[in-house]
Amino acid sequence: MKLWGGRFSKPTDKLVEQFSASLPFDKRLYWEDIEGSLAHTKMLGAQGIITDKDADAIRGALMEIRLAIEADDFDFDLADEDIHMAIERALIDKIGPAGGKLHTARSRNDQVATDMRLHLKRTLIVIAGEVAALQETFLALAEEHRDTVLPGYTHLQRAQPIFLAHHLLAYVFMLDRDAEKLKNCYQEADVMPLGSAAMAGTPLPIDRESVAKELGFSRLSDNSMDAVSDRDWLISFTAAAAQIMVHLSRLSEELIIWSSAEFDFVEIDDSHTTGSSIMPQKKNPDVAELVRGKTARAISNVTGILTLLKGLPLTYNRDLQEDKIYLFETIDIVSSCLAVTRGMVGGLAVNVERMAEAAGGFAVATDYADYLVVKGLPFRMAHDVVGRLVRFCLENDKEPVDLTLEELQTFDRRFAADALSLSDPKRSAAARISPGGTGSESITSQLKTARIKLDELQEWVSSGSTLA
Ligand code: ARG
């Protein structure tokens, strides 16, 4: 018999049982479900709503059930519908009618909302830790390549020489914004719905504050109807995860391009590539491609959860059971992608010569214009002079490095001997000393800022993991 079977005269259709069960995926909430039940039981006992003896029996049995699940020694039965019912049934099987007191002043509606928030809070700490670890990997590589010059691109056309450290630091700052979003998600998830019961609250003298404290929630939900139907925190999480994935996807795209024979800027380590079943020479950037591919699912999960919610009248509707699919899938995608990306970035072999070679040529053109600006020519005119200079080079099969002082001076008398060094891409990158630019001092200060932010994040992660 179902735990809710009293008013029914017929059994549930077998197909309906299968159709409506969430147990296959929500068993992932077993830890939080038991944690919530332990706190709830303690409170029921302390408030005299159930006897201490019953509270003790329930607590002991719940602990045993948790151990059994962890030891893979628990009978999951689809007929139980979900993890909440599965655990409650096992409890009653173990200790008899006293087990039936656990669900006093509680509903699965406030229970599941609480379990999921707890689960997300714990997971956010782990994901933030993965973000930090990836940042750490980028920082180490940036330190190593402060002096490696390559072209920066716009429109995927060579634009201006930059240092590789500058390029890598761009990802560190992207990830820093991602980490901030994750912290905000944590705040949003850190509200306890338990005690809202089905949706209207309970007449029993519960103490929500003590339960929240026990479970590590900083705040209580204010409105029981909102509490059982609110999944806004899940919208925020899927959105934050989608943003992380978009960043990882852009990086992946760069690594795919950079590792092509045409670019040959980097080689992805064998351990993070795969071969072809037909072409023996191939070494494919499948990991990067899959990160890019999985980003599609992370993005669609944002619209998925929004669409799930858009038509729901207050309060709980069974549609909400589907929310877990978005939650778990998003967690799995973002966690695995952060981890493999870290491995991929950490193992990159950088082709410093090839990058330098690509940074030569016309990527330094802006430097010639800036030179003339310093000598008093308005920028728009300088741009035109250098534009003609570039055309001259193209028509005569020359590059800036080939230009003689005499040639330069036919374009503008302001060019002096020191203009001959303008063709050096390293000089060009080092000269970009404006704050936030690619110049060496800016890189030093970016590394410093990034370090401070990363230390803060790591501190947040370690203080969080002691809570969880
Ligand atoms: N398995 C359900 C879910 O995940 C639990 C809540 C069920 N509540 C209900 N009133 N049927 O949403």
pLDDT digits (tens, 9 = 90+) for 203-228: 999 999 999 999 999 999 999 999 99
Q: Is the pLDDT of residue 467 over 70?
A: no
Residues 87 and 201 in one domain: no
The answer to whether 262 and 358 are in contact (CB under 8 A) is no
Q: How far is CA 15 from the centre of its chain?
A: 37
CATH classification of the domain holding 407: 1.10.40.30
Residues 336 and 372 in one domain: no
103 is catalytic: no
Residue 50 lies in a domain: yes
Domain end: 104, 119, 144, which one?
104
The answer to whether 248 and 295 are in contact (CB under 8 A) is yes
Residues 395 and 412 in one domain: yes
Residue 201 lies in a domain: yes
The answer to whether 186 and 123 are in contact (CB under 8 A) is no
Tell me the DSSP string of 106-119.
Answer: --HHHHHHHHHHHH
Residues 244 and 274 in one domain: yes
Q: Is the pLDDT of residue 165 over 60?
A: yes
φ and ψ of 257, to 5 deg = -65, -45
The answer to whether 365 and 388 are in contact (CB under 8 A) is no
Helix extents (H) in 347-432: 352-359, 365-374, 379-395, 405-411, 425-431
What is the distance in A from the centroid of ligand 1 to the CA of 314?
Answer: 14
CATH classification of the domain holding 50: 1.10.275.10
**Angstrom distance (rounded) from CA 276 to CA 187:** 46
Residue 5, pLDDT score: 84
Q: Is the pLDDT of residue 466 over 70?
A: no
Residues 287 and 332 in one domain: yes
Enclosing domain of residue 382? 361-431
Residue 282, pLDDT score: 85
**Which residue from 318, 322, 323, 324 has its CB within 8 A of the most atoms of ligand 1, so it is best to mutate?**
318
Helix axes 108-144, 83-95, angle to 10 degrees: 120
Residue 388 lies in a domain: yes
Residues 81 and 200 in one domain: no
412 lines ligand 1 (CB under 6 A): no
Residues 183 and 235 in one domain: yes
Residues 268 and 389 in one domain: no
Give the model confidence (pLDDT) of 338-368 as tens digits: 999 999 999 999 999 999 999 999 999 999 9
Residues 237 and 95 in one domain: no
Closest CA to 153 of 4, 1, 363: 363
Residue of 276, 434, 445, 462 marked catalytic = 276
389 lines ligand 1 (CB under 6 A): no
Residues 77 and 63 in one domain: yes
Give the model confidence (pLDDT) of 295-338 as tens digits: 999 999 999 999 999 999 999 999 999 999 999 999 999 999 99
**Angstrom distance (rounded) from CA 402 to CA 407:** 10
Residue 183 lies in a domain: yes
Give the model confidence (pLDDT) of 259-298 as tens digits: 999 999 999 999 999 888 888 888 899 999 999 999 999 9
Q: What is the DSSP letter of 102?
A: T
272 is catalytic: no
Query: What is the pTM (predicted TM-score) of this model?
Result: 0.95
CATH classification of the domain holding 249: 1.20.200.10
Q: For the chain, what is the domain count?
A: 3
Residues 31 and 114 in one domain: no
82 lines ligand 1 (CB under 6 A): yes
Residue 212 lies in a domain: no
φ and ψ of 284, to 5 deg = -100, 145
Residues 296 and 369 in one domain: no
Decide the pairing of beta strands 191-192 and 219-220: parallel
Distant-in-sequence, close-in-space partners of 215: CB < 8 Å, separation ≥ 6? 35, 36, 39, 114, 118, 192, 194
The answer to whether 5 and 90 are in contact (CB under 8 A) is no
